[in-house]
Amino acid sequence: MLNSPVPELSLPATSSLQFNSKDYLGKFLVLYFYPKDSTPGCTTQGMQFRDMHAAFLEANAIIFGISRDTLKSHENFKAKYSFPFELISDSDEIACQAFNVIKMKNMYGKQVRGIERSTFLINPQGIIVREWRGVKVDGHAAEVLASIQSSHS
């Protein structure tokens, strides 16, 4: 994935948007994949991106969260925590497959397929320049922002 062009994706997002990966050329694009709306880790992660959103905009970066939840679930999650960015619904796992983030995970002793918390940074030329897999939530948004800011210098 690294140093390759962002996969062409067209998926539904909150606020009645249709997300097209090619629409964001000229800006940094942050795609963060997370397991499930309204769960503790995913909520914390979203809030950290929310709290730093102005700094991301200042760095010419657009943020999108992606999970397999429905648009209705996304709209509720976004409204409840006042996320200033959109959430993409990937119920058919199109983006999940393209970015290879579906992994077998243990939940309550059972093997289940789920999203491995992962973030991808796409540069203004549409190239994937950083990827974080198996993300630990705390401090992650700041790390992504620092990566964007250092590429400006």
Please indicate whether residue 96 is annotated as part of the active site.
no
| Tokens encoding 33 | 């994949």
Q: Where are the beta strands (DSSP E) in the chain?
A: 10-13, 17-20, 28-33, 61-67, 86-89, 102-107, 110-115, 118-122, 128-133
Q: Which of 6, 13, 42, 88 is catalytic?
A: 42
Q: Give the Cβ contact number of residue 50 at 10 Å.
A: 18
137 close to 44: Cβ distance less than 8 angstroms: yes
Spatial distance between the Cα atoms of 152 and 71, rounded to a whole number of angstroms:
34
Cα angle value 85/129/26 (rounded, 5°): 55
Report the catalytic residues. 42
